[in-house]
Amino acid sequence: MIINEGVLELNLITSTAVGIFLLLLGMWLNKKVDIFKKYCIPSPVIGGFSFAVIVWLLREFDVVQLKTDTTIGDLLMFVFFVTIGLAGSLSLIKKGGKVLFFYILVCWGLAIFQNGFGVALASLLGIDPLLGIASGSAALEGGHGMAAAMAPSIEAAGGTGALTVGLAAATYGLVAGSLIGGPLGNWLIKKNKLKIETDDNWARSVDEPEKQNQVASINYKNVLTIVAVILLVLAFGTNVAKWLTYVTGFTIPGHVFSLFVGLLFASFNNKKNIVHIDSKILDVFSMVALELFLTMAMMNLKIWELYDLAVPLLIILLAQTIAIIFIAWLIIFKVTGKNYDAALLAAGFIGHGLGATANALAVMDAITKKYGVVSKKAFFIIPVSGSMLVDIVGVPSIVIFTNFFAH
């Protein structure tokens, strides 16, 4: 730790240790405080935001300014993006059938819409269009992880305060998605007098275990294999991204390009079986990387940057909320069958379109508990789309909009 002219700088080890402590604190509070469980508020947000509030108060009262080293957090962000790619594959679209295909098309359209709508609203309200992108699909459809991951690129393009705006928008989305998704699904069921039944044939087809996931064991070799694959994908992806940025003049973030390298490798590996990638171990890597990276990103939240943006940001977010309600009602519900499964998908769409996949699962779970019928279709399509496939278009959309409105 270094104290210099009223600034307390935490070194790499101390910053990481504080981040882990805050993550564990957030996990504990998540179990103890009902409101956190009710709205599916992630543990990293609870712990990291608590630290950000302390930093803000110390700054406001001229006690000391705290600065942290984000090196480990940045590395974990890269690792998380690679695990997203490795966990997905192009074959998932085929497995999900026509309903998944239509659903993911709407999700991809939503990503583009949220960015364009955010830019338009920001321009009308007289604020930087880049902040409309920061509070668009990166924060809403992408959630806290994507908002924090894309903020450096947006800020480098001129969008001062993108991290703070993005994380604030993502927090709003978590609460709004949890509050609105369930009531909309319930309203669709009652309004259309839907039969409370689900597609059992479809459910049986997706319950069939894939051969490569029948045996899962956590051992030295399997862990080392995944570490090697992640690092090789990162080494290739980040360096090629730098080269493409230099050649084209179009900024391509290394972690974004690495995600697609991982996706292509996973699709090829599933066919050729070059190496065994244990899905359970990959999930552990992904979860640890995401939660610690997100905690450390929240630690750097500059709350004071929201002073002048509070009203415009709220208007943007309310408008985005109204838009997604109509998309879920008039498009998702209709293209996915106008039945009980479709009502659940519409509810889940709002959950992850505003907040995160966990919100989508929570609101669908609430509906199925009320009506007593679980839709395997909805509970397969939502996680596959919200956690993996949406990024195929969602992430490039953010990059393209950011480059276009860079200044």
pLDDT in tens, 42-57: 788 889 889 989 999 9
Q: Quick: pLDDT tens for 137-159.
A: 999 988 888 888 899 999 999 99
DSSP state of 355: I
Confidence of residue 30 (pLDDT cuts 50, 70, 90): confident
Residue 219 has pLDDT above 70, yes or no: yes
Per-residue pLDDT at 114 exceeds 80 = yes
Q: How far apart are CA 18 and CA 25, in angstroms?
A: 10
- Predicted pLDDT of residue 308: 77
Contact 123, 273 (CB under 8 A): no
* Cβ neighbours of 279 (radius 10 Å): 14
pLDDT in tens, 296-335: 888 887 888 777 788 999 999 999 999 999 999 999 999 9
Q: What is residue 300's predicted lDDT score, i.e. its pLDDT?
A: 82
The pLDDT mean for the chain works out to 86
Can you give the pLDDT at residue 1? 62
3-state SS string over 145-185? HHHHHHHHHHHHCCCCCHHHHHHHHHHHHHHHHHHHHHHHH
Given a contact cutoff of 8 angstroms between Cβ atoms, the answer to whether 355 and 143 are in contact is yes
pLDDT of residue 218: 75
The amino acid sitting at 358 is A
Q: In sequence order, what DSSP letters do the residues of 179-239 get, joined into one string?
A: HHHHHHHHHHHHHTT--S---HHHHHHHHSPPGGGS-----HHHHHHHHHHHHHHHHHHHH
Res. 289: pLDDT tops 80? yes
Give the per-residue pLDDT at 208: 46
Residue 3, pLDDT score: 65
Please report the pLDDT score of residue 36 as a whole number: 81
Total length of the chain:
407
For residues 367-391, average pLDDT? 81
Window from 91-105, 119-133, 346-360 with minimum mean pLDDT? 91-105
230-280 pLDDT, tens digit each? 999 999 999 998 998 888 888 788 887 888 898 889 888 888 888 988 888
- Closest residue by Cα to residue 166 from 300, 366, 351: 300
For 271-293, what is the mean pLDDT? 86
Range of weakest confidence among 23-32, 131-140, 172-181: 172-181
List pLDDT tens digits, range 373-384. Answer: 888 788 878 877
